Amino acid sequence: MIEAPVSKDQAAAEPLVRIRGVTKRFGSFTANDNIDLDLFAGENHALLGENGAGKSTLVKMIYGLIAPTEGTILWRGAAVALKNPEEARALGIGMVFQHFSLFDNLTVAENVALSLPRTESLKTVPDRISDIASRYGFALEPDRPVWTLSAGQRQRIEIVRCLLQDPHLLILDEPTSVLTPQEAEALFGVLDRLRGEGRALLYISHKLDEVKRICDRATVLRHGKVVATCNPREESARSLAALMVGSQVKDVKAAADRTYGGERIRVDGLNLPAGDMHGVSLQSISMSVRGGEVLGVAGIAGNGQSELFAALSGEAAARDANAIRFDGGAVGADGVTQRRRRNAAFVPEERNGHAAAPDFSLSENVVLSRHAESGVTRSGFVDYGRAQNLAGSIISSYDVRKAGPDPAARTLSGGNLQKFVVGREILREPGVLIIDQPTWGVDAAAAAAIRQAILDLAARGAAVVVISQDLDELFEISDRIAVIHMGRLSEAKPAGAVTREEIGLLMAGTASGDARAH
C-alpha cells in the first residue's frame, strides 16, 4: 500500500478523528474492510475511489447514519458510538450531501431552521444566516423561497446549515458537481477560509484536478479497502485515477478520421410551457446536429435541461410536430416509442427509476426500452430468451459488474447501472442519441468508458446531444457547446473556440448569447 507521511505539525498533534479497523458488512457483502484513517484539524483530506469502493459507507459511519460492524471511531482521542446524525452534529461533525435535502416551497430561513435545535427561535434565524453569509462571502436572502434559487445558491444553504452548528469536521460529497466554474472558485475560497480556522474537511470528488488543487492528503479506497494515502499535489490526475481503479484509465479520444454527414436533428422555434410551478418553460429553442457530431448542452441544474430532454425524447409533446425533426421526419408530436422506431435512443438523467426500474431484472429492463424493436416482443409476447441474450451482450460489452446472472437493477452500483443503461441504448446503433448527465456521480474509469462509447457512436454516423453540468466532460467530447439558461438556448460554438469562463458566464446568465444553436 502507498502511504504518504503526515506533516511534522500533524505528527505532533492528536488527530481530530482516528478510525481504526473499521469494517462494515451488509449480510455477506463487506462494504468497508479494516479501514484506518486519520483526519487532522486544519486539513483538507480527499476520500477517493470508484463507485462502490466504500466511500459513502465510510462517511455515513462517521456521520452517525450507520454503525460499524467492527472497529473503533475516536473523536479527539475518545472512542464514540454515534447512534444518529444528531449525536454527530453535537460533537461537531457536519455533512453537506451531494443531493440537496431542501423543501422548495419553504424559504431559505425556514429550511435552515429545520436543522437547528428546537429551542432555536425562527425569528433569530435570518440574522444568523446573514452573519454567516457575511463572514464567508455568501450571498443569501433568508426570505427567498428555495424554488427561485440556482443550484449554487441552494448549496450555500446546505453549507450555512452546517456552519451554524460550528462544526470541527465538515464532510463534503461532490460539492462542485452542479456549480459553474465561477461558483466553484467561490466555494474553494470558502474552503480555504474554513481550513484556516482550523476545521478539518473530508472531501469526496471524482474531479481529480480540483482534488489536486485544494486537498493536502488523499486516502484512496478500492473494493472497500484503503490502498493508498498520498499527497495529491505530487500526483497527476491520471496517477490518482490509476490508484482508484488498479490500472491506468484509458484516454478518451475521438476518431482521427471522423467525418460529418447531413443534418439528423433539427429543432426550430420549440416552445414548451412548464409542467408545474417549479418547472421551466422552453422558449424558442433551435438547434441543428449533423451525423458524426456531438452537441454539448451546458447549464446549471433547473434551467430547463429536464424539459429539453423530455421534449427531445417524446416524454412531452411539442405543439408543432415540425418543431422537432429526426432525419427529416417531423417527430414533435410523436411519443417515445414512435421516436425509437425512427432509430432514436434516449438516456435520462435519473438512472434508477427513470432509465431503469429498480426492482426489475436487467433483462426485464432491456424489454422496457427495446420492446418496439430488437425482436424482444412478438405478437404481444415477450421473448425472455432474446432479452437475456441482449442483456448479456450489454454486460459483456460495457464491463457491467454485478452479482448473479440476472440481478435486479437496484443491486448494481451507480456507475455499473449507468454503464448498463447507456450500453442498452448505444448497442442499438441509433442514428440519434439524446443523453442527459451521462456520467453523473460515476467514477473515472466508468466515465471514460461511457464518453468513449458516445464518441465511437458519433464516429459511426450518429448525431448526439449530450446534456451535462460537467464542463470537463463537455469540453472532452463535444464538437460544439451551447448553454441553456432559464429555458433559452445560446448559440452553439465550437468547443475549441470558447473558454470555460465564457461558458460559465452564460450558465450564470451574466453574458448574452444568440438563442439559436445551429
pLDDT per residue as tens digits for the range 482-495: 999 999 999 999 99
Q: Determine the pLDDT at residue 513.
A: 45
Query: Among residues 348, 347, 315, which one has the least CA distance to residue 332?
Result: 315
Q: Which of 256, 116, 280, 100 is nearest to 179 (CA)?
A: 100
Distance CA 293, CA 155 (A): 34
Find the helix packing angle between 181-196 and 125-136, rounded to 10°: 90
Sign for the CA dihedral angle at 510, 514, 517, 518 comes to: negative
pLDDT, residue 512, reads 54
pLDDT at 6: 59
161, pLDDT greater than 90 = no
- Pinpoint the alpha helices (H) of 284-360: 305-313, 336-341
Q: Mean per-residue pLDDT for 50-61?
A: 89
Sorted by sequence, the CB contacts under 8 Å of residue 392 that are 6+ apart come out as none
Going from the N-terminus, what domains does the chain have, and what CATH number goes with each?
2-92+167-245 (3.40.50.300), 251-343+431-518 (3.40.50.300), 352-429 (no CATH)
Could you give the CA distance from residue 201 to residue 495 in angstroms, rounded to a whole number? 34
Q: Please give the Cα distance from 37 to 3 (Å, whole number).
A: 11
End-to-end CA distance of the chain: 52
**Which helix (DSSP H) or strand (DSSP E) does residue 25 occupy?**
strand 17-26
Report CA-CA distances (Å) from 518 to 264, 410, 514: 12, 39, 10
Q: What is the mean pLDDT of the chain?
A: 89
Predicted local confidence at residue 207, as pLDDT: 86
Residue found under cell 490509476: 242
Which strands sit side by side in the sheet containing 217-222, from one edge to the other?
2-3, 225-230, 217-222, 44-49, 200-204, 169-173, 93-96
Give residue 474's Cα distance to chain centre: 14
Phi, psi of 427 (to 5 degrees): -65, -10
Nearest residue to 365 (alpha-carbon basis) of 391, 341, 340: 391
Q: Is 48 helix (H, G, I), strand (E, B) or coil?
A: strand
Judged against a pLDDT cut of 90, whether residue 341 lies above it is answered with yes
Distances (CA, A) of 297 to 41, 160, 300, 442, 471: 40, 30, 10, 19, 10
Q: What is the pLDDT of residue 311?
A: 96
Q: How far is CA 205 from the centre of its chain?
A: 10
Q: Residue 12 pLDDT more than 70?
A: no
- The whole-number pLDDT of residue 515 equals 42
Q: Is 300 exposed, middle or buried (0-12, 13-18, 19+ CB in 10 A)?
A: buried
Write down the pLDDT at residue 516: 45
**C-alpha triplet 436, 55, 82: angle, nearest 5°:** 125
* Res. 514 pLDDT band, cuts 50 70 90: very low
pLDDT above 70: residue 75: yes
* Contacts for 100 with CB less than 8 Å, ≥ 6 apart: 154, 155, 157, 158
The residue behind cell 505528527 is 11
Residues, the chain? 518
Q: How confident is the model at residue 276 (pLDDT cuts 50, 70, 90)?
A: confident
Q: Above pLDDT 70, what percent of the chain?
A: 96
| Calculated CA dihedral for residues 251, 254, 257, 260, nearest 10 degrees | 180
C-alpha cell at 507: 450558465
Give the pLDDT mean for 126-151: 85
Instruction: Give me the sign of the Cα torsion angle 232, 233, 237, 238.
Output: negative
pTM here is 0.76
Q: Any residues with CB less than 8 A from the CB of 451 and at least 6 apart, and which?
A: 252, 438, 439, 473, 476, 477
Contact 483, 469 (CB under 8 A): no
Listed ranges 276-280, 284-288, 414-418, 496-500; the one with the highest mean pLDDT: 284-288
Report the pLDDT averaged over residues 149-174. 86
Q: What is the pLDDT of residues 410-455, one digit of tens each?
A: 888 778 899 999 999 999 999 999 999 998 877 788 888 899 999 9
Residue 8 pLDDT class (50, 70, 90 cuts): low
Quote the radius of gyration of the chain (alpha carbons, Å).
24
What are the strands, taking DSSP E only, across 348-431? 377-378, 381-382
Helix (H, G, I), strand (E, B) or coil at 18: strand
The pLDDT confidence band at residue 378, using thresholds 50, 70 and 90, is confident
- pLDDT band for position 11 (cuts 50, 70, 90): low
Q: What is the structure's pLDDT at 214? A: 93
pLDDT at 256 over 50: yes
- CA dist., res. 132 & res. 44, Å (int): 21
